[in-house]
A and B are shown apart, each in its own frame.
Chain A
């Protein structure tokens, strides 16, 4: 820790910083916890999707307070924990007023780390309908920026034909502390067959391979998935074997020392699993490297190594694991989760190679998803923003503090925030979520 950082984090430094406008960031709610205040459901139009899904989740809900349009604004009395707006029936611009009328009292009465959750439709139908669908996105992003004290807003687009069974895992994830660092995001739920019932220990008995599991985000992924019942196969390069073994032993999984760029990496993962289990229920391609340089100084080796580790190796591994003739491969109904990055989605100075690989991951999952739908395999990615890890701890303090605060939650995310989002995507109940890239960035100011 530098002298400057020590001074800044000392009690006196904190007071000075607070006076200068750098207040302590809000405490986020984490884990499998619900808001402490009541959940309010506002069904706009005649949709029952939101109500049915909350009922399926066993979460009671209350009726919304509506704003008349004038001052004073009617209040909720006590703070509310969450507002779920079922806006799936909205098709006209003038109906957006109904949304304003439920949002205005709610944003004023929302508890710290509370939730605004908008349920909309994908952009289909006539010109106005598609415009309205996009307008919800603008509302969500803006509400997310205005909310304070660690509260978040997210928009879930529910495609026609997807019902409460398909939506349940997503709504539960967003309501719970698991989505702490997911803010201002929009993603989609599709119709799907054979959706597993909702569970608080959804990965029981499921074999999940996690690459890059020896430290940082990968280790948090292993721990979080093990908490949810998964049997972890922890993979990392042989040189990281000591910490890999510690992680594997902590989660009572197995360690597989393996360079994922080896030509036989996929076959070795399959062979490791084949002896022990029927096959793989999910793989998390978390392993990644950075070789940062401005493009003007990026040589072919820097370029190739990052693309090889971050993108090509997982394509090669997927190919093997998706071959139905391979023992120990990915089972039907399995899950593939990639790890993209906001650097890839938004671009980041000095990271052309990294951005190429991470945007490539986003493209890859979107491309694979429809092709694997027939086998019940979902393919998604998370895109972390600034996460507090050993890697980001090496960024100089002032720059790091700027990165931390450049999002709607005014803080860096934790590895567990990425892990929880991955856990949600791996959930057998998330069958309707595929081809999605969910950012875990606290609504970072940069990026699409």
Chain B
């Protein structure tokens, strides 16, 4: 890379459970709000930003140009170009790398990467018979023909089709896939509930300390993450019934992420340009690696980041012990647990092409301000939440501090990014 790319800072809306306080907001609204908060924090109102890249996983057809439209609704100069990207739950991290790579190549001085999702305003489609009837009616040349078309309508045709969160090639939902992984890696209920409790405790402490004062801007009257349960405990979580893995399953609503609404954005810049502009710099984006596994033939759907982690560390000549902080996206508590087990498993690591086991990290350095279990996980937003959060944490630890972000995604994919504090 020719140019050093730095994370200037970030902004997000508070996250909330779908159907909750942000249910009236569309992806367009959420993304615009996240952008406007970022623009206000860094004094970008009326300026032309090099490019804005964002995406949403659950996207209405009308949002074919979601990011550009949000830019036009925002306080940015209308001459700011934009594009939509999508890589399932890694979208916010992929948009980060898209902008970062352009900056590194000297094509941009600065840009904004973002992601948004709303499970409250998911695109609901109509059944195939209803679609055919509507098409026929619209093509009809007479009232009689139109009536004839509608006469075929049956009540069952009217049931809306919600988007399915399942893998097209296996027919299994993400939770069902993770239940297989949970069993294969023998992740206990207790391990999972501990991760969930720790996520809530850490996030609550971060809010309490004012950590999010310059990372979150309230939206629609919601000032804090609404999924957060500071008082949750092992006892309270132990009472929940399993939702994946059958009656003897260990995955519950308490240790799985909730369907969420929210948006996040991160401001990236060429290091020299940021300095010229009097903008702060938190951390440098060092490298990124994407990986995929063959889940249709049985590979663990959400463990693709393991291979990416091994490869990126090898390329950088670093070991996992060199990481001061690590963020592993909590798709499910058991994803984090299985990832940590896989890192230490020589056989697994070599089976995905690595030279050996990745190793282990001190749990005190993992997800130190909580992660998706407590915060929520609006799919495309999570990556753009993680980047500024980790950048700020590393910056607070001092120059040279290193951190790694690991995000799993649908389709058996995983994206890993390395940051280093400046």
Contacts and interface: CB of A to CB of B under 8 A. Distances in A.
Q: Are A and B part of the same complex? A: yes
Interface in A219-277: 231, 234, 238-242, 244-246, 248-259, 262, 275-277
Nearest to B219: A242
Nearest to B280: A275
Interface string A34-70: 0000000000000000000000000000000000000
Contact of B45 (A238, A241, A252, A258): A252
B238 interface: no
Interface string B21-42: 0000000000001001101111
Nearest to B36: A245
A256 B215 CA distance: 11
Nearest to B41: A255
B353 interface: no
A397 B286 CA distance: 62
Interface residue tally of chain A, by bracket?
20 to 34
Contacts of A250: 45, 75
Interface in B185-215: 210, 212-214
Interface string B263-281: 0000000000000001110
B218 A249 contact: no
Given A275-B280, A276-B278, A252 B46 contact: yes
B199 to A, nearest CB: 21
Nearest to A233: B43
Contacts of B42: 254
Contacts of A242: 33, 37, 217-221
A277 B278 contact: yes
A241 B219 CA distance: 8
B43 A257 contact: no
B223 interface: yes
B40 A244 contact: yes
B interface majority secondary structure = loop
Contacts of A276: 43, 278-279
A277 to B, nearest CB: 7
Contacts of A257: 213-214, 217
Contacts of B210: 238, 259, 262
A249 B223 contact: no
A311 B39 CA distance: 31
Nearest to B74: A249
Contact of A249 (B45, B216, B219): B45
Contacts of A244: 40, 217
Given A275-B280, A276-B278, A241 B218 contact: yes
B223 A238 contact: yes
B279 A248 contact: no
Contacts of B39: 245, 249
A279 to B, nearest CB: 12
A244 B33 CA distance: 12
Contact of B278 (A252, A253, A258, A275): A275
A67 to B, nearest CB: 56
A248 B278 contact: no
Contact of B217 (A234, A241, A252, A275): A241
Given A241-B217, A241-B223, 4 more contacts: A242-B217, A252-B46, A255-B41, A276-B43
Interface of A: 231, 234, 238-242, 244-246, 248-259, 262, 275-277
7 shortest interchain CB distances as A-B pairs:
A245-B40, A249-B75, A255-B40, A248-B40, A276-B278, A254-B43, A249-B45
16 contacts: A238-B213, A238-B223, A239-B218, A239-B223, A240-B218, A242-B217, A242-B220, A245-B217, A246-B40, A248-B40, A249-B36, A249-B75, A255-B37, A255-B217, A257-B217, A276-B43
